[in-house]
Structure 1
Amino acid sequence: MNFFKRLTGHFLTITRHRHMVIRHCAKAGILWQGLRHDLSKYSLQEFIPGVRYYTGTRSPNEGEREEYGYSMAWMHHKGRNKHHYEFWVDYNLETKRNEPVEMPYNYVAEMFCDRLAASKIYNGKQYTDRSPLEYFEYRKPHKSINLKTRDEIETLLVMNAEKGEEETFKYIREKLRKYKEEK
């Protein structure tokens, strides 16, 4: 694939994804988060590898991992975007280890919006309400995510699969309202 096709393909893919996340975040009641979602993908540290490894069939991070054994673009991304559970790892003074910590609920909600949009963009016409749950189950994190956070995102994905988006967004808005009241 030539450079121009990789450039435009990557730009259009990340932009379509981001715009869909913005729409989902608006439905969830976190529009401001949606407007700031994934802006780091347009930074040189993420955009250049994104173009270089773009194929149109998988994440460019996979290509970078194959070449180097890791993805600098992904490490940059997860360290700047709080809707990724990988961001929420900190040093535990008692165990003297890096361990996952519970995500604030507004970022769990954004993570759901992100997963929903990614499934729609990457599955295209094959998308169903079960697609985000199936992806999660296929790559289910076990040790690198806080158990309460994992249970909450799984609850949202199961609800979406069984009851659809409208009910799930209604549940998220109510949960966010309670979360804000507790703060």
Structure 2
Amino acid sequence: MSKFSPHEFFPYARKFYSNQKDEDTELRWKNAWLHHQNHNKHHWEYWIVNKNTREALPMPKKYLIEMVCDWRAFSRKWGRKVKETNLPERMMTSESIILHPKTREELENFMKKKQQQ
């Protein structure tokens, strides 16, 4: 997990658990976040071939499920209690998220199955 690498851990800790709110702290955190997205297969950004043409590779189902779990976990951030969240649905339909058509279809089918349970 790259979150525990020095490249990511220290900028995250500095941004979220210190009183430092300067430009350097923010820039280091943004670099750490970019590193995290591009080094973890459960982030849709990992699979992008070309942002300009919105081309992405198909995401294996394992990472697609991890991505949904990550979205759900993010909705619980900072100890908020979550009953039902629509964050995965909002993320899935967002225009800013670039997914391969096959991945989007598989994600929609996965979300439908989860709603029926």
Give the AA of the match of 1:105.
K
Once the two structures are TM-superposed, the CA of residue 131 in structure 1 deviates from its matched residue by: 3.5
CA 1:151–1:128: 2 relative to 1, 3 Å: farther
Give the AA of the match of 1:108.
L
1:88 to 47, 59, 74: 47
Mark the structure with the bigger radius of gyration. 1
The structure carrying a bigger helix percent of its residues is 1
CA 1:42–1:141: 2 relative to 1, 3 Å: farther
Q: Count matched residues.
A: 112
Q: Deviations over 1:1-37 (max 9, x none)?
A: xxxxxxxxxxxxxxxxxxxxxxxxxxxxxxxxxxxxx
CA 1:135–1:120: 2 relative to 1, 3 Å: farther
User: Structure 2 CA distance, aligned partners of 1:41 and 1:143?
Assistant: 22
Q: Deviations over 1:56-108 (max 9, x none)?
A: xxxxxxx97x944x8111121112111111000226xxxxx672111111111
2:86 to 122, 128, 131: 131
Which aligned pairs between 1:1-20 and structure 2 lie closer than 5 A? Answer: none
Name the % identity.
33
Give the AA of the match of 1:116.
R
Give the AA of the match of 1:112.
V
Q: Is the 8 A contact 1:103 1:149 kept in 2?
A: yes
Q: Is the 8 A contact 1:101 1:146 kept in 2?
A: yes
1:78 to 17, 24, 37: 37
List gaps (5 residues or longer) in structure 1. 1-38, 56-62, 92-96, 168-183
Provide the alpha-carbon RMSD of the alignment. Answer: 3.5
Q: Does 1:53 align with 2:15?
A: yes
2:68 to 112, 130, 137: 112
User: How high is the TM-score relative to the length of structure 1?
Assistant: 0.48
List gaps (5 residues or longer) in structure 2. none
Give the AA of the match of 1:85.
W
